[in-house]
Chain A
Amino acid sequence: MSLLFKGRAQGAESVKIGMFQLIIMFFTDHLRQAVNSLGELWRSPFASLMTIGVLGFSITLPSTLYVLVKNTEQISQQWEQASEISLFLREGVTDASAQQLLTRLRLWPEIAEVAFISADEGLKEFQALSGLGDALNYLETNPLPAVVLVVPTSKHASPTSAGILLNKLRKEREVEIGKLDIEWLERLYALIGIAKDLVTLLAVLLFFAVVLIIGNTIRLNILSKRDEIVVMKLVGATDAFIQRPFLYTGFWYGLLGGIMAWITVFIILLWIDYSMQDFMEKYQVNFNLTSMDLSTLIFMLLVSVSLGITGSLLSVQRHVKDIEPR
C-alpha cells in the first residue's frame, strides 16, 4: 500500500493474483536471485575461488582432526573390550571356597568370563616366567595368593562401569585386593579429551576468521556496486531487497566452500589411510580408517553455509544501510 496516496495500490496488489500464485512467485523470485548470485560468482572465477578456498581449507582442518579423533576413540574402544579385573584372594581361602566364589560370579550379569589361578599354579607360572627358577623352591610357603581373573561383558567394559564392577567385587569376602588395569586407558581418554578441546578451539578460531573474511569480501562486493545500489534506492528498493543477492552470495560461498572441504578431507583421509596401512602391517593390526559419515558431512555443510551467511549478514546490515543517494 502507498503511504502517501490512499487507494493507490503498490506492487503485486495492483494486479489480482491468488495466494498460491504469490507463494509460487516468492519462490521463483528467490530462486532467480540465487541463480543470479551464482552467475555473479561465475563471472569472476578467480576471486570467487580464492574466497571459496579460504573457507574450504579453514573447514578442512578441524574436520580432518575431528575425523582422526573419532577414529582414535574407536580404536581405544576396541582395546577397552579386553580389560580384565584381577581379584587376589585372601590367605586361607581354600580352593573349594574359591570354586564357590567362581560359581557365584558366573551368575553375575556384568561378567562374561571367570578364570581361576590357584596359588600353586601362580607359583609355577611365576617360576617359569621370572627366571628365578629353583631359587623359589627355598621358600617355606607359597607367598602368592590365588587369583580370579574376571572379564566383564562388553557393556560393562568401559573404565567407569568396570570401576563400579570392581568395587562390587571387592566386597566379596574371599577377595583381598581387586585390581583393574585401566589407568592407561583413563590417561588415553584424558588425552583424547584434550585433543577434542583443541579441535573445538581451533574450529572456533578458524570459523571466526572465516566469518570476517566472508564479511570483508561481501563488503568489497557492496562497495563495487555502490552506483547500482544508489539507483535502486532512488527507485524505491528497500534495504532487504538490496541485501538479498549479497546474502545469496554468502550462501554460495558457504556451500561451495563446504563441498571443497569435503573433497579435501576425503583426499587427506585416503592418503593417511594409505600410509597407515603400511604401519599397521608391521604391527600386524588390521585397521581401516573410517571416513566421514553422512550426518557429519551434512553437519559440516550446514556449518559452512551458516558461516557464509553470517559473514554476509554482518557486512550487508552495516554497509547497505550506509549507502544513500546524495
Chain B
Amino acid sequence: MIKFEQVSKTYPGGQQALRKVDFHVEKGEMAFLTGHSGAGKSTLLKLISIMERPTVGRVLINGHNLSSIKRREIAYIRRDIGMIFQSHQLLMDKTVFDNVSLPLVIEGHTRKNIAKRVDAALEMVGLRDKAKSLPITLSGGEQQRVGIARAVVNRPPLLLADEPTGNLDPKLSMEIIRLFEDFNQAGVSVFIATHDLGLIARMKYRTLTLKNGQMITDGLDEQPNEGLLV
C-alpha cells in the first residue's frame, strides 16, 4: 500500500530529514511509525500526503509513483487518504456535522447521501448526539474523534494518523487505537505515527522506528524501547 524506495529528503537550507528510507506497508496492514521528535516522522507522512516531495527516491501508493502526480492532481490523491492530525485541524466555527461532511461536500455528494454517511461516521466514533455542537465545546478526545470521523467519512482505503493520541490520557488513547483497529478489520490500511511507546508496547503491531532520518527497526516490535534508547 505504502512503499518507500531509497527515499531521502533534504530541506532547503541543508537539513536532512530522511536518509535512504526503505519500507513497505502492505495492503490491509496496520503499522506504527515511531521515533523522537525531529527523527523525521512528520516529514515521512508529508511525503505520503504530498505536502512535501522527496529529494531522492520514490514514494509509491498502491503501486503508483507519487512523483508523477501533478500539482493539480494532489487534491484528488488526498481524497483517497484519510488523514488525522494531532492538532485535529477542525474548523472551530463550524458544527461537528459541517466538519465531518467537508470531504463529501468537496466531492459533490447529494445532501441525502451526505447526511447518511456523516451519521454513520459519527456513530462509529460514538459522537452521534454531538452533530450540532461546535468543536470548541468538546473535550480533546472528542475533538480527535471528530477528526477521525472526518477522515473515514468518504471511506478511504488508507488512513494516516500523525500523533493521534498526542494530548490524550492512556485510557482515551487506547479507545482511539481501538477505533483504528476496527477500521483496519474492515480492510483499511492504517499507518500511525506516534512517540507513545507505552501504547505500542501493549499491542503486537509492526513498528517502524526512525532515528535521525534513518529507519533503524522495521518489524514486529518485541522490545520497542531498545531501538530508541541507544
A-side residues, CB < 8 A to B, are 2-5, 8, 10-12, 14-15, 17, 21, 25, 29, 227-228, 230-239, 241, 324-326
C-alpha spacing A158/B78, complex, angstroms: 69
Which chain B residues (73-121) contact chain A, with CB distance < 8 Å? 73, 75-80, 83, 85, 89-91, 102-103, 106-110, 113
Measured between beta carbons, the chain A residues less than 8 angstroms from B185 are: none
Q: 1/0 per position for B113-156, CB-CB distance to A under 8 A?
A: 10000000000000000000000000000000000001000100
Are A3 and B91 also in contact (CB < 8 A) when A25-B110, A236-B106 are?
no
Q: Is the CB of B76 within 8 A of A231?
A: no
Measured between beta carbons, the chain B residues less than 8 angstroms from A233 are: 75, 78
Partner of A12, one of B72, B89, B110, B157: B110
Q: Is the CB of B80 within 8 A of A4?
A: yes
C-alpha spacing A84/B77, complex, angstroms: 80
Partner of B89, one of A4, A231, A237: A231
Q: Is the CB of B80 within 8 A of A235?
A: no
Q: Is the CB of A11 within 8 A of B108?
A: yes
C-alpha spacing A2/B69, complex, angstroms: 12
Does B178 reach chain A (CB closer than 8 Å)?
no
Measured between beta carbons, the chain B residues less than 8 angstroms from A324 are: 51
> Can you name 11 A-B pairs with beta carbons within 8 Å?
A2-B79, A2-B80, A3-B80, A5-B157, A11-B109, A15-B113, A227-B91, A228-B91, A230-B89, A236-B103, A238-B75
The residue of chain A having its C-beta at the shortest distance from the C-beta of B150 within the complex is A235
Q: Is the CB of A12 within 8 A of B108?
A: yes
The residue of chain A having its C-beta at the shortest distance from the C-beta of B63 within the complex is A4
The residue of chain B having its C-beta at the shortest distance from the C-beta of A6 within the complex is B62
Q: Is the CB of A235 within 8 A of B103?
A: yes
The residue of chain A having its C-beta at the shortest distance from the C-beta of B85 within the complex is A234
Does B61 reach chain A (CB closer than 8 Å)?
yes
Q: Is the CB of A5 within 8 A of B62?
A: yes
Does B20 reach chain A (CB closer than 8 Å)?
no
C-alpha spacing A8/B154, complex, angstroms: 11
Q: Is the CB of B108 within 8 A of A238?
A: no
The residue of chain A having its C-beta at the shortest distance from the C-beta of B78 within the complex is A236
Chain A nearest Cβ from B73, distance in angstroms: 6
Does B24 reach chain A (CB closer than 8 Å)?
no
The residue of chain B having its C-beta at the shortest distance from the C-beta of A235 within the complex is B103
Chain B nearest Cβ from A224, distance in angstroms: 12
Measured between beta carbons, the chain B residues less than 8 angstroms from A238 are: 72, 75-76, 106
- State the 6 A-B residue pairs at the shortest beta-carbon distance, nearest first: A11-B107, A236-B79, A236-B78, A238-B75, A235-B103, A237-B106
Are A237 and B75 also in contact (CB < 8 A) when A5-B62, A5-B80, A231-B102 are?
yes
Known: A231-B91, A232-B106, A237-B106. 15 other contacts (CB 8 A): A3-B69, A4-B61, A4-B80, A14-B109, A15-B109, A15-B113, A231-B89, A231-B90, A234-B85, A234-B89, A235-B78, A236-B77, A236-B79, A241-B106, A326-B51
Measured between beta carbons, the chain B residues less than 8 angstroms from A2 are: 76, 79-80
Are A12 and B150 also in contact (CB < 8 A) when A4-B62, A5-B80 are?
no
Q: Is the CB of B157 within 8 A of A3?
A: no
Q: Is the CB of A3 within 8 A of B64?
A: yes
Measured between beta carbons, the chain B residues less than 8 angstroms from A237 are: 75, 106
Q: Is the CB of A234 within 8 A of B83?
A: yes
C-alpha spacing A2/B107, complex, angstroms: 11
Q: Is the CB of B108 within 8 A of A29?
A: yes
Measured between beta carbons, the chain A residues less than 8 angstroms from B108 are: 11-12, 25, 29
Chain B nearest Cβ from A246, distance in angstroms: 16
Measured between beta carbons, the chain A residues less than 8 angstroms from B106 are: 232, 235-238, 241
Partner of A3, one of B77, B83, B90: B77
Q: Is the CB of A3 within 8 A of B89?
A: no
C-alpha spacing A8/B155, complex, angstroms: 10
C-alpha spacing A238/B85, complex, angstroms: 20
Q: Is the CB of B76 within 8 A of A10?
A: yes
Measured between beta carbons, the chain A residues less than 8 angstroms from B73 are: 3
